[in-house]
Amino acid sequence: HKSQHNRSPKMSKKVAVVTGANRGIGLAIVEGLLKSGECSHIVMVCRDQKAAATIAAKLTTKACAVLVCAADVTDDKVGSTLTAFLAKNTGDRCDILVNNAGILKEHDKDFLHGTLDILRKTFEINTVGPVKLIQAVLPLMKKNKYGRIVNMSSGLGQLSEMGGKYTAYRISKTGLNAVTKIVTAETKDFDDIACNSMCPGFVKTLLTPSNMTHASKTPEEGAATAVWLALQSGKSMPKGKFFRDKKEMDW
């Protein structure tokens, strides 16, 4: 019984945190987690508190409270803002973290024409943001001996298939994949903590540049793999892997 006690979150409903959660794939991830019936709390981390609060009120059920933590992933205090929010509202727990917030700038061009400003802004949100949030919640996951981290990456960050264009975005997502591997290595002694990357495919959202006319997936289809990874359990669950459509990809 001792091991069950040490892994108490496994026996109860989960507390999930999703960034960039008030629209597109992020909102679809919140809805997917809600439908699973596995969560007692889902925390939407968003900049626009007003818009998110309206959505959260509509989504909240008797079984699962959908809450809003107003924070910007570019803020250096985002981690402490989130942990203070979790301490107050979820009993100091974060069982699932989905790093979904991301940007793809319309003027993110080929290598020689990419500006350093776009590179810095893209990296700050797509790579540094997830680092800050993982650094904030991983101690809670370690304390509770349970955690699922899902990093929203992209096939454009795949080194084995690396091409041109979208320079800043590609570099930022390759960096995020490195984060997945580093966190996996540093949590190897925790059986019930898993960190994975995933690519949603080309989803038609507000983030999609107008020239990406082949974006055909719905946000729900793009969110499915993230929800699936967030709810993985058992000894055979993936750790430190890269997925698209629930299938493993090469790095």
Question: Catalytic annotation on 173?
Answer: yes
Exactly one of 14, 105, 146, 153 is catalytic; which is it?
153
Q: Pairing between strand 247-248 and 242-244?
A: antiparallel
Structure tokens at 238: 């993936």
> Choosing from 105, 169, 197, 241, which is the catalytic residue?
169
Closest among 85, 154, 93, 168 to 123, alpha carbons compared: 168
Instruction: Write the CB contacts of 22 (distance below 8 Å, at least 6 apart in sequence).
Output: 44, 46, 48, 51, 52, 55
Whether residue 153 lies in the annotated active site: yes
Question: Known catalytic residue: 210?
Answer: no
- Is residue 28 within 8 A of residue 40, CB to CB? The reply is no
Whether 204 contacts 218, CB under 8 Å: yes
Q: Which token pair is 206?
A: 């507000």
Q: What are the structure tokens assigned to 28, written together? A: 């679809």
Query: At residue 96, what are phi and psi to the nearest 5 degrees?
Result: -135, 130
* Beta bridge partners of residue 199, listed in sequence order: 244
Instruction: Report the 10 Å Cβ neighbour count for 41.
Output: 21
The enclosing H or E element of 179 equals helix 167-186
Catalytic center residues: 153, 169, 173
